[in-house]
Structure 1
Amino acid sequence: MNARRPRRFRGRRVSWLRLGASVLGGLALLVAGVAAVAPPFSFLPTGTPVDQRWFAGYYDVTLDQGVALAGDEMIAAPGGAVLAFVVAAGDADCTPTWGKTYTLDDAATRFDLDRRIERMRREGHPVMISFGGAINTDLAVACTTSVDAAKAYGAVIDRYGVDSIDLDIEGKTLADRSSWGRRANAIARLQGARPADHPLTVWLTLPVAPDGLTADGRDLIAGMLSAGVKVAGVNSMTMNYGIQDPKNLVDVSKRALEATASQLSTLWDDAGLDLPPGGVWELMGATPMIGLNDVTTETFTLDDARAFTAFASDRGLARLSMWSINRDHTCGPNYPFTGTVSTQCSGVDQGDETFAGVLSNGYLGRYANAVVETDPPIIEDDPKTSPYPIWNSTTFYSAGVKVVWHGSVYVAKWWNQGGNAPDDPTLDTGAAAWSYIGPVLASDQPFRLPQLPANTYPEWDATTLYNQGDRVMVDGTGYEAKWWSRGQNPARSILDRDYSPWTPIEGTVDAGASGEGTGGNAAGAAGPAAGAAGPPATG
């Protein structure tokens, strides 16, 4: 009863070589079967197709100053630009502004933002508008209804003609759950009003921790999807983790992105939405803060940028950005606050490299086939409709003065007269006296000098000797003498502020003539006057 049963194949040992061959053979048959019904590896997510990956650095519009030329670095940066940040004018004022610093009209007149955006579009560099940010009042918070919020968002979208927007939701705005529904319904309303062949692309930019999105971030995304918002992707702010000893900022960011990918997969599944063909990474973007971060123990170097871009490329993230284009250069030698984060330089030695150049490597696919106007017609300028005086080779121009030539707007880099036309292609950047800003826009107003009431001041007389402080009028515009003169036409000061003995009385000349606004039509009256002279050696 207790006899042992004989073993089958007694004395035979397992051949691991034969077993391995059998397993490999079985796998080969399995792969062959799959290949018979589908292309090789088509069942594996591949991330975003290379020709659809894109880079766009953030550009802080609120740092621009009225008299300073703004945006040249924005235009020169590779890829596109994300302009930041549009916010409400006040806690209870739903009017959109640029960081409460400029109204939309201010940005147009003070530094030609509308014109620069149109230039980028024509040159194949798309622009995205970012709403929100870490400070100020978000539109969804200030607007009391989703209808009002939709109007505010829509006014910005329509003005700049953009098809893509970025909702940067962080800090107190992310914690304000009362605004979530207004924002979601407003964006869904705007998307629903667009034709199917011209959709509004919406990205959510959210903070991440080393373990991924915060609870508020996850819930906000779920709410947007539930409201019917078509979310193109989620851009993770891979910065400011608050780790005292991060050791390797790239490793922390990799971990954060891997965790975010898992969270987004769950969110899309819970919403009953299919992931894109490339998998969850096709829904993702990442934005590091270049150089010194707000957390002093965290610094993102150029080597970090290379490693970060390699990881993004390997996973197939759809989008890379950075904060910010304004900071993408080494701080100058006169900046004494080493170790302190600056809004205008990175705080690390970049040599001849830029972070944008590194991070955009492999992320310019979307721009490769951009339509660029390569053979534009020569435009005949019309002084009756031109937003600035039309360039004239015999006129004197001060630095900062704007002119129109062949349908484009230029600004003088230094005092000049005569010389090459502003659009002369034979001059390099250093030799040209003019900088190209952008095209004349259909919305531009004709160049006109505001008028004073008749007889406010005496009419200027060529034979009269005028002393400092004297005031006169020419064709309804007021001028004040800076020093003594005789026979010097005050109208010359509209374009030549350096050597004219006159200056337009503040408030009577539109800012365009002084390089700060749209201006008025003084082209005919602003030519060089006979007997022109500089200021005397003594005041």
Structure 2
Amino acid sequence: MARQKKASPDAASTAPSSADAVERAQAPESSGGRRLSPWRVIGAALVAIVVVSVGAVGFQWWSARAAVDAKPWFASYVDVTATPRFAFENLGGTSTKDAVLSFVVSSKTDPCAPSWGAAYSLDEARGSLDLDRRIARLQQQGGTVAVSFGGLLNDELAVGCDDPSALTEAYASVVDRYKIGTIDLDLEGAGLTDRDASERRAEAIAALQQERRAAGKGLAVWLTLPVAPSGMTSDGTDAIAAMLKAKVDIAGVNVMTMDFGDAKDAKTSMAKAAESAVSAAQRQLGVLYDRAKLHQSDPSLWAKLGATPMIGQNDTPGEVFSLADAASFNSWAVSNGLGRMSMWSANRDKTCGSNYVDLTAVSDACSGVSQGKKTFAGVLAKGFDGHISLGESAVTTAEPTSTAAADDPATSPYPIWATKNSYLKGAKVVWHHNVYQAKWWTKGDVPDNPVLNAWETPWELVGPVLPDETPIPQPTLPAGTYPTWSGTAAYDKGQRILFDGVPFEAKWWTQGDSPEAASADPDSSPWAPLTQDEIDQIIGGSGR
């Protein structure tokens, strides 16, 4: 596409017109009645023209400089609802702390109700996934999150929610709940091709951005779009144009440099194909801004671009983005001043285990390539030292609560840990204002014991107790559900008993073996404690 000529917006209404300036310059001076010379008249006219130009392009210049001056950032996408669950909160202990959590989409029952992957409402995600607490934990460690709306598998909110006010409120409910300063709109499928949805989305995002600015808050908006080595599709450029037309201040456009298919020459590396795709997108973005009369400099356009490769094995057979591709592409992106680098996904950033046989089949939990001790995040993040724009009042703005203050049962979501109590695998407790989850049956192990290795403690830190939390009702087995263990009784395989209030199941015939030994030596003990999930199923009606 050919670059269009620069077009300036209308001058600000407060700026004087050049004709007014000339007329004033030609008027008699009040002190002596002298008329100005022709040269001074021309000089005054030139000054007026400069004033008009400054008023017209001042915002453009500031916007361009702001984009260039912003530090480029790296953040992995995290599939929040994928199985096995990825502990993104642990990214806080790495050098790549930021994460783009995906995907918020329409609920299956209400298109205007946001959900995580059409599987959990926001409230359900707080309970079942402990999502709010895990976000808070990441923020405690200096990480920042953005939320991505859309994706390929479900409906982005604007597709089915045709009420503009309700749509704006749906986006706002997510932004406000997680106190984020950046959103990502991943437009694929109907989310990309539906023109009506595109217009509704642009209108809603523009309204949300205006509301937040009126309240003294910001909202960075990124569009994530498919791309080929030749550039973005017309649907992609139309989506950008709709946002610009609605006066959305776009932080940037992130192109998915993956799954090129027939558009990529078989002899071209994935890194080179990605470079071509981003370069083409940069040219297209410049044309779109020129058409909107919001000219951007080349450095500003690069700063408004992001790239997201799919690490390792791509969905397209034969396409593998290797660690060498990552290093090459990272070097190119840094040298060109790219504003963002991401990857799909943190869930996959590890070598597949030996039990995963077909590496050409894409896994949600590993990359399909041998990574050794390296991570794709570590390679792609080099030179991207900035952070996702942080939302106001995020957990990182608050000082941690002193551990000297006693845990309050009235504001603790789970029981406060006690030395004498036994805890099943999966049980959650509160200790020193944090929530911990048992990795296996435990009794007497202090949750925040400062061990050197994670395997030395039965507890895993989930995150802090959140403000205004109240106790969550805990399921307990009714009295008499199982008989109390007796050292003289014989038990067959599969029989269940209660020991110290904890249910156990016999793995084989046993007599006189105390279930207490199951914690110290689980392999040789004939008893296995039930998990918290199993307890929940029993109470839910699955029977004894």
TM-score band, normalised by shorter chain: 0.7 to 0.9
TM-score (norm 1): 0.74
8 Å Cα contact 2:145/2:388 also seen in 1:
no
The residue type equivalent to 2:346 in the other structure is: I
Q: 1:37-436, aligned counterparts within 5 Å?
A: 52-64=71-83, 70-72=87-89, 74-76=91-93, 78-90=96-108, 93-195=111-213, 197-242=216-261, 243=264, 245-275=266-296, 278-366=299-387, 376-378=401-403, 379-419=405-445, 421-436=446-461
C-alpha displacement at 1:386, in angstroms? 1.1
C-alpha displacement at 1:406, in angstroms? 0.8
Task: Deviation per CA, 1:403-443: give whole Å up to 9, x if none.
Answer: 11111011112222213x22233543232221111100124
Task: Deviation per CA, 1:270-320: give whole Å up to 9, x if none.
Answer: 112242794211111000000011111211000110011101100111100
The residue type equivalent to 2:469 in the other structure is: D
Q: SS of the counterpart of 2:112?
A: strand
TM-score (norm 2): 0.74
Q: 2:470 aligns with which of 433, 445, 457?
A: 445
* Shift in alpha-carbon separation, 1:160–1:501, aligned structure 2, 3 A: closer
* Residue segments in structure 2 that go unaligned for 5+ positions in a row: 1-60, 505-518, 520-526
The residue type equivalent to 2:357 in the other structure is: P
Q: SS of the counterpart of 1:321?
A: strand
C-alpha displacement at 1:205, in angstroms? 0.3
C-alpha displacement at 1:142, in angstroms? 1.1
Q: SS of the counterpart of 2:276?
A: helix
Q: Which has the higher helix share?
A: 2
C-alpha displacement at 1:244, in angstroms? 5.9
* Shift in alpha-carbon separation, 1:209–1:374, aligned structure 2, 3 A: same
* Shift in alpha-carbon separation, 1:384–1:79, aligned structure 2, 3 A: closer
Report % sequence identity: 42
The residue type equivalent to 1:87 in the other structure is: V
Distance 2:311 2:134 in 1: 24
8 Å Cα contact 1:276/1:283 also seen in 2:
no
Q: SS of the counterpart of 1:332?
A: coil
* Residue segments in structure 1 that go unaligned for 5+ positions in a row: 1-41, 469-481, 511-538
* Shift in alpha-carbon separation, 1:443–1:278, aligned structure 2, 3 A: farther
Instruction: Provide the aligned length of Structure 1 versus Structure 2.
Output: 449
Task: Deviation per CA, 1:519-539: give whole Å up to 9, x if none.
Answer: xxxxxxxxxxxxxxxxxxxx9
Q: SS of the counterpart of 1:303?
A: helix
Q: SS of the counterpart of 2:226?
A: strand
The residue type equivalent to 1:324 in the other structure is: S
* Shift in alpha-carbon separation, 1:50–1:186, aligned structure 2, 3 A: closer
Most deviating of 105-114 and 276-285: 276-285
CA RMSD of aligned residues (A): 3.7
Q: SS of the counterpart of 2:410?
A: coil
* Shift in alpha-carbon separation, 1:373–1:354, aligned structure 2, 3 A: farther
8 Å Cα contact 2:126/2:132 also seen in 1:
yes
8 Å Cα contact 2:182/2:389 also seen in 1:
no
Task: Deviation per CA, 1:38-82: give whole Å up to 9, x if none.
Answer: xxxx9xx999668711100000012146xx674355545513100
